[in-house]
Amino acid sequence: MDVSIIIVNYNVRFFLEQTLHSVYKSIKHLEVEIFVVDNASIDHSVDMLKSTFPDVKLIANTKNVGFSSANNQAISQCKGKYILLLNPDTVLQEDTLESC
């Protein structure tokens, strides 16, 4: 596994969806696992993830545990050589991950 990507989400479903589309476009030749930790969003983020991105490893919290704790939940499960903490409003260029 090359890279583990962790995104913490809280009620930003539309941004998260765009971020994930950009991530999938940028992982062409890399072995990547993607975690989304949802901090009890009420905007149907979890439903969107399950239907649109079924390969994403989802951690759906029943309460907002905060940014650091949410990242730590996913970090404890990561298998990648590198870990990328990515904000849910970030759009990657198609060559970003390979360039890094």
Q: Quick one: pLDDT at residue 75?
A: 98
pLDDT digits (tens, 9 = 90+) for 22-80: 999 999 899 999 999 999 999 999 999 999 999 999 999 999 999 999 999 999 999 99
Q: Quick one: pLDDT at residue 28?
A: 86
Q: Is the pLDDT of residue 21 over 90?
A: yes
Query: How far apart are alpha carbons 38 and 56 in whole angstroms?
Result: 12
Q: Which helix (H) or strand (E) holds 52?
A: helix 45-52
